[in-house]
Structure 1
Amino acid sequence: MPERPSRPPLEFLYPGQHDSINERIGFDIVAVHGLGSNVDWSWVWKGHNKQVHWLKDPDMLPAAVPNARIMAYSYESRWHIDAPKTHLGLLGEELARTLHGVRAKELDRPILFIAHSLGGLVVMHSLLYADRTDDLKYLPLKTIGFVALGTPFRGTRMQSLAKIVSRLLSFLGSNDKVIDDLGLDNESLTEKVHEFCQLRNKLQIPSWCFIEQLESDYGEKAGVPGLFKGIVVEEASAHIPGWGRTGLNTDHFYLNKFSGPNDGSFMAISREISLMYAGIHADTEPSRMRRKIGTSTPLCRMG
């Protein structure tokens, strides 16, 4: 099989890497896509003869947080065909090392993560790895926010279906290691989430979960609309007790795609991002209360 063209693991979406506005950057935003997705289209809404990339459209996230440097993390999350032999722990380590390399001269700059689906678990593994690695310990300390869009913190019922598909496609180079821990109430995932909650609570990292409220149509993706529909990540998995939460009137595949600045889902998500950044500058009582949401470790025991 021909070698895939290489690309930088972190792509600068706004401002450009050499734009003069870089001098006014106050914090970094890193977007991490989900399972089987691609950095080129994961954050892009398509429809009505237009495409909207909300992470770099000047009327969307850059307008909501104009002093942010917005980057998208590019990693291979394919699992069904020609899939890399990787797993969640390794993906997390690679994210932490990549951020360290890009931010070598900006170690004190605050960082905020936006993650869709599996991407939230990659961020979780990344911060846990950084916390136990001497030269990376500053990363969780500088994390000022974590926005999780349909992240399966308790796994998903769909994992069993994905495992079957992976086995059927083994002759095409599938890899089910990356989805091993995604079974509902998987013991390994439960322990990792609990460990992450302890770290998050200790550092009081503001975190917000966004939850899909509409079923996803898998049949439509296969060319047979309505054949199979369902909620990919149930609320009980997408939300950790004690963390902030918002339900969005959309399905799993559109939790990370928005039609414009007046899209209700975008408005809800950008509001939380703005408040997270504002929280590091405002030592007001409401700000302190927002930062303390979910600081009780027992709440992180899910199930």
Structure 2
Amino acid sequence: MLKADVNEFPVLCDLYQPKAHDNLVDLVFVHGLGGTFRGTWTADGAPRPWIENPEFLGPLKDKVRILSFGYNANRFGEVANTRIIHHANSLLRALFRKRIDCQERPIIFIAHSLGGLVVKRAILLCPTNDDWHAIKSATKGVVFMGTPHMGAEQANYLSLAQNFLSLVKLEQPVATNLTKELELFSTTMQDINQEFSIDVHRSIKLICFYESVPQRLPHGKSVITDRSAVVCHTSRSGKPRSFVHAF
């Protein structure tokens, strides 16, 4: 679903709150390009997001609060011009307000596509603001789903950005002045991934998934390859899953 769920951004919405208030973990979902805080996690034809149904948590359902972060990712141009850092700042501010009375509660992020870059930039920004130190300390894990981590030269980042652009072209109009936006966005990806590979702490567990079913792109290319979907400069291995990139 590419249409926005709300008219105002950003939003950090409670999608599931256990009856008991002694939550052990905050599970924070972050969508990617063209996604929304509800639509990204809703299967085709389903009446509501699957993450609203606590049954997927199994025996942990009474100990987990589910939050979903939404930001304006409707158009490639808007994402490129707004910059990932602004979305990351919005995520941190929203988390701080939401967790003001439970700052030590563990956090696990689940991020789809470019949402993974938002999460990575947010973690890198935590030391810059006293209010955010606790968020980094509380972050125990990040699950990346089809997030580009490719540690390569600028040209490859530009090619990857063009793949994302092709995906968005399938559904909606594209912003003008694309060459400059693509260059800006590919540089942003490169900077975030290089900084994160140096700064990432062993206390944060990283799991990377990538799609094994090619997304409908020109020439049959995948949006994210297995090589790109594994965090560079770490021993973490990528895990293939049988889904397309925009699910």
| TM-score in same-fold range (> 0.5) | yes
Tell me what 2:243 maps to. Answer: 250
Tell me what 1:45 maps to. Answer: 43
Q: Percent identity?
A: 25
Instruction: Report the 3-state secondary structure (helix = DSSP H, G, I; strand = E; otherwise coil) of the residue aligned with 2:62.
Output: coil
Deviating above 4 A after TM superposition, structure 1's stretches of 4 or more consecutive aligned residues are 62-65, 80-85, 161-166, 173-177, 179-182
Tell me what 1:207 maps to. Answer: 206
Mapped partners of 1:228, 1:65: distance in 2: 43
The question of 1:93 aligning with 2:89 is answered yes
Q: 1:193 to 1:158 in 2, by over 3 A?
A: closer
Tell me what 2:11 maps to. Answer: 9
**CA deviation profile, 1:108-152 (whole Å, cap 9, x unmatched):** 111110000000000011111112222211211110110000001
Q: 1:44 to 1:170 in 2, by over 3 A?
A: closer
Distance apart, 1:105 and its partner CA: 1.3
Distance apart, 1:182 and its partner CA: 4.8
Q: 1:161 to 1:110 in 2, by over 3 A?
A: closer
The question of 1:25 aligning with 2:40 is answered no
Mapped partners of 2:203, 2:124: distance in 1: 15
Where does structure 1 lack aligned partners over 5 or more consecutive residues? 219-226, 255-303
**CA deviation profile, 1:64-114 (whole Å, cap 9, x unmatched):** 543110000011112258779411111111111111111111111111100
Tell me what 1:232 maps to. Answer: 223
Which of structures 1 and 2 has the bigger CA Rg?
1
**CA deviation profile, 1:161-191 (whole Å, cap 9, x unmatched):** 556989x8446x98975x54554xx5x5334
**8 Å Cα contact 1:14/1:71 also seen in 2:** yes
Q: 1:163 to 1:152 in 2, by over 3 A?
A: same
Tell me what 1:196 maps to. Answer: 196
The question of 1:136 aligning with 2:127 is answered no
Tell me what 2:161 maps to. Answer: 159
State the number of aligned residues.
230
**8 Å Cα contact 1:32/1:116 also seen in 2:** yes
The Cα RMSD (Å) is 3.1
The question of 1:126 aligning with 2:122 is answered yes
Distance apart, 1:6 and its partner CA: 3.1
Tell me what 2:145 maps to. Answer: 149
Question: Letter of the aligned partner of 1:70 in structure 2?
Answer: I
Mapped partners of 2:164, 2:145: distance in 1: 20
Mapped partners of 1:193, 1:169: distance in 2: 25
Mapped partners of 1:68, 1:85: distance in 2: 35
Q: TM-score, normalization: structure 2?
A: 0.79
